[in-house]
Amino acid sequence: MPKKVSVIIPCFNESEGLLLFYKDLKSHLPEKYHYEVIFVNDGSADNTLEVIKELRQNDSSVHFISFSRNFGHQNALKAGFDMASGNCAICLDADLQHPPKLIPQLMEKWEEGFESVVTKRIDHDSISGFKKLTSRMFYQLTNRLSDVKLENGVADFRLLDRKVLDALKSFSENQIFLRAVIQWLGFKQCIISYKAGERVAGDSKYTLKKMLSFALSGITAFSIKPLRFSIYLGLLFAALSFLYGVYALAVFLFTNNALPGWTSILMSVLFIGGLNLLMLGIIGEYLGKLFIENKKRPNYIIAETDLGTLN
C-alpha cells in the first residue's frame, strides 16, 4: 500500500493561473505515492471554484473545500490541514511562487525521518524592494518582540507529518499564525532553501493592510512583551514628568522668572496624551484578541466540499 500524501493549495481569486499551476504540480509529484490534491477556495469572487471542479472531472485525486466567504490564507491552510487524510501534507501557494519542483526534495527529507520540513525563501530580483523590505522588517520585529524565533523568509510552503497534523488539530485559536504555531509545536524540523519565482497570473492578495494585520497578530499571538513595554515606557515618562514637576516648582519658589509656561505645558500634555493613546492601543489589541477568542467561533465555515469526513 503506497503512502498517501495530501497537497493543500489555498486559492483566492486564482482562476487565471490555476491550470498552469495544476499542470506544473502534477509533473512534479513522485509516482510512488498516492495523492489527494485539496484546493481550498477561500471565498473567491472569480470562477476559481469552477476551474477546480473542471479539474476534478478528469482527475479523481483532486478535491476541494469551498468557504462561505473569504476567511484568509491562514484559515484556508488550517482547513486543509484539518481535513487532509494523508500520511503527510504539503501546502503551497497557487501562484507558482512556491515551486512545485521542490516537492520531491521535501518528500525525501520526510522519508529521512523529518516530521516538519519548512522552506525558506531566498529573495529573487523580481520581488519588489518594498516587499523585501517589509518582509525583513516583519521577521525582525516578530523575532524581537515574540517568544518564538522565526527564521527569516520562512514561507507557508512546507511538509507536515501526520503527527504534526494531529497536534495541529487541537488548536482552535482564531487568527491562527501557523508559521509560529508549527515552530512552537516542535517535532523534528529541517529547512530547505529556494528561490522565489514571480507570480504567474493576477496580483498579490496580500495588501499592505493585510500584511500589517498579519504582523500584528503574529506578535500579539505569541508574546505579551508589548504590554510589558508599555509599563516600562509609562514608568519612564512618569519619572520624567515628576522631575520636570520638581524643576518647575523650584523655578517658581526660588526665582522670579516663572513665566506662564504655556508652551511647555501644552507640549507635555500633548506628548503624554499621545503616549497614553499608544499604550491604550496596545492594551486594546490584546483585549480585542481576548474578546474574539472568547467567543470560540470557528476559524472558517465550509459552504461546499467533496471530502466526506469533517474532522
- Of the residues 95, 115, 156, 161, which one makes contact with Mg ion according to CB under 5 A: 95
Q: Which residue type sits at 126?
A: S
Question: Smallest gap, in angstroms, from Cβ of residue 299 to ligand UDP?
Answer: 13
Cβ–Cβ under 8 Å, residues 49 and 14: no
Instruction: Decide: is 97 part of the binding site for Mg ion (CB under 5 A).
Output: yes
Question: Smallest gap, in angstroms, from Cβ of residue 208 to ligand UDP?
Answer: 11
The option from Mg ion, ligand UDP, none interacting with 115 (CB < 5 to 8 A, set by class) reads none
Q: Give the burial class of 101: count Cβ atoms within 10 A of its Cβ; 0-12 exposed, 13-18 middle, 19 or more buried.
A: exposed
Instruction: Decide: is 142 part of the binding site for Mg ion (CB under 5 A).
Output: no
Q: Radius of gyration (Cα) for the chain, nearest Å?
A: 25
CB-nearer residue toward Mg ion: 131 or 162: 131
Question: Smallest gap, in angstroms, from Cβ of residue 146 to ligand UDP?
Answer: 20
Left (φ > 0), alpha (ψ -120 to 50) or beta: where does 48 sit?
Answer: alpha
Helices (H), the chain: 15-27, 48-58, 73-83, 103-111, 129-145, 162-169, 178-185, 208-222, 225-254, 262-294
Instruction: Decide: is 135 part of the binding site for Mg ion (CB under 5 A).
Output: no
Question: Smallest gap, in angstroms, from Cβ of residue 197 to ligand UDP?
Answer: 10
- Residue 291's φ and ψ, nearest 5 degrees, are -60, -45
Question: Smallest gap, in angstroms, from Cβ of residue 2 to Mg ion?
Answer: 31
Question: Smallest gap, in angstroms, from Cβ of residue 75 to ligand UDP?
Answer: 8
CB-nearer residue toward Mg ion: 135 or 220: 135
Instruction: Decide: is 75 part of the binding site for Mg ion (CB under 5 A).
Output: no
What are 228's three cell numbers? 510589558
Question: Smallest gap, in angstroms, from Cβ of residue 97 to Mg ion?
Answer: 4
The option from ligand UDP, Mg ion, none interacting with 42 (CB < 5 to 8 A, set by class) reads ligand UDP
The option from Mg ion, ligand UDP, none interacting with 17 (CB < 5 to 8 A, set by class) reads none
Instruction: Decide: is 156 part of the binding site for Mg ion (CB under 5 A).
Output: no
Cβ–Cβ under 8 Å, residues 58 and 295: no
Vertex 31 angle, CA 30 and 33, to 5°: 90
What is the contact surface with ligand UDP in residues (CB under 6 A)? Answer: 10-12, 14, 42, 70, 72-73, 76, 93-95, 97, 204-206
Q: Give the burial class of 84: count Cβ atoms within 10 A of its Cβ; 0-12 exposed, 13-18 middle, 19 or more buried.
A: buried
CB-nearer residue toward ligand UDP: 95 or 161: 95
Question: Smallest gap, in angstroms, from Cβ of residue 105 to ligand UDP?
Answer: 20
- Other CB atoms within a 10 A radius of the CB of residue 51 amount to 21
CB-nearer residue toward ligand UDP: 135 or 230: 135
Q: Which residue type sits at 173?
A: E
CB-nearer residue toward Mg ion: 86 or 153: 153
Residue 237, CA distances (Å) to 230, 262, 264 in order: 11, 20, 15
CB-nearer residue toward ligand UDP: 46 or 87: 46
CB-nearer residue toward Mg ion: 82 or 95: 95
Site residues (vs Mg ion, CB under 5 A): 93, 95, 97
